[in-house]
Amino acid sequence: MSEKRPRVGAAVLVEHEGKLLLGERNKVNANGLWIIPGGGVDFGETLEEAAIREIKEETNLDVDIVKFLCWKEIINVPGNYHGMVFFFLAKAKNLNELEAKEDLSEVKFFSVDEIKELNVVGSVTDVLTDCGFMN
């Protein structure tokens, strides 16, 4: 029997003209909820490399990382998930190629006021509040 362990993840908050990119999740965990796109860090990969790869895989965007924002421990035992996710702020180089891929059914830029009205996972509100985007 393999031992369950927390996963390490990297997620990217892409900013454009005062709006932030979120993706609507289409997997069992958090299905239908809006998330900050990201995923697992591979062995031998830096957090920034993982962030850049994951945002490309999920949104088709190439990004430049602006800065590290924060990290959050996310525990969802009923959903069989426990992870430490490192969040980065980035700017997209190819906005015209934005499309939902992988684990997302839709990707879209939202203002903070619009995000407040969305059905988001808790980490979205936590990250935006802790990093000064949202009150």
Task: Residue 82: count other Cβ atoms within 10 Å of its Cβ.
Answer: 14
Q: How far apart are CA 58 and CA 99, in angstroms?
A: 8
3-state class of 51 per DSSP? helix
Where residue 3 falls among pLDDT bands split at 50, 70, 90?
confident
* CATH class, range 7-130: alpha beta
> Using one digit for the tens of pLDDT, what is the confidence trace for 40-86?
999 999 999 999 999 999 999 999 999 999 999 999 888 888 999 99
pLDDT at 1: 54
- Give the residue extent of every domain in the chain: 7-130
Q: How far apart are CA 43 and CA 88, in angstroms?
A: 19
